[in-house]
Amino acid sequence: MLKVELRSLEKEDLVLEEKDWAQALGIELAPGLCLEPLEIYCELSKSGDLVSAKGWVQGGMLLQCGRCLKEFENRFKSFFEVHYRPQCEGSPSEDENLPEGQVEMIYFEGDILDIADQVRQTILLSVPMRALCRDDCKGLCGGCGRDLNVEACQCQEPPEDPRWEALKNFKF
Ligand SMILES: [Zn+2]
Ligand SMILES: [Zn+2]
């Protein structure tokens, strides 16, 4: 599980290590984002009220190439670091958080800290805006639509030259 009792953190720092399917770990993800069991590593330490969580998540996701539109598997390993603080009256609301370096502050309730949501966020942030199946993917031909990685362009003629269009409309 990705939960830890605050009491056990009072005594010593803890390391969470898990390897399991997202669903079994209580992490809801689209099927394309969990092609294999997730590997999670997280170091937890507590000082005063503040719990620091630092680690990484590794897994595999299905992406669509932005050039040839083919789906391909992509392995990722993404790092995260957050601070947790118990929610109590007078805690600042989310948008009033003081920037504390780059580390995000998350407020939680109760005696148990659950890092599942943080792991989920980390995976969602790992999805690239524009993925390529390989760096030199040639993509699809704009004319015939062939995948230029596997076959040659089948366009019958070069695209019409706009200069000829202008002549066609010319009235003698
Ligand atoms: Zn591609
Ligand atoms: Zn073509």
pLDDT computed for residue 90 by the predictor: 62
Q: Which residues pair with 39 in a beta bridge?
A: 19, 58
Burial class (CB in 10 A: 0-12, 13-18, 19+), 29: middle
Degrees, nearest 5: CA angle 166-169-170: 85
Give the distance (Å) from ligand 2 centre to CA of residue 143: 4
Where along the chain do its domains lie? 3-136, 138-172
* Res 91 pLDDT > 60: no
State the pTM of this model. Answer: 0.77
Higher-pLDDT residue of 91 and 54 is 54
Give the distance (Å) from ligand 2 centre to CA of residue 128: 28
* Res 27 pLDDT > 80: yes
What is the C-alpha separation between 146 and 138, in angstroms, rounded?
10
pLDDT computed for residue 166 by the predictor: 65
* Res 98 pLDDT > 60: no
Give the distance (Å) from ligand 2 centre to CA of residue 129: 27
Query: Taking residues 29-44, what's their average pLDDT?
Result: 95
Higher-pLDDT residue of 107 and 163 is 107
Torsion of CA 98, 102, 106, 111, to 10 degrees: -110
pLDDT computed for residue 64 by the predictor: 95
- Whether 9 and 46 have beta carbons less than 8 Å apart is answered as yes
Percent of the chain exceeding pLDDT 90 equals: 71
Give the distance (Å) from ligand 2 centre to CA of residue 74: 28
* Res 168 pLDDT > 80: no
pLDDT computed for residue 8 by the predictor: 92
Surrounding residues of ion ligand 2, Cβ less than 5 A: 141, 143-144, 153, 155
Give the distance (Å) from ligand 2 centre to CA of residue 73: 27
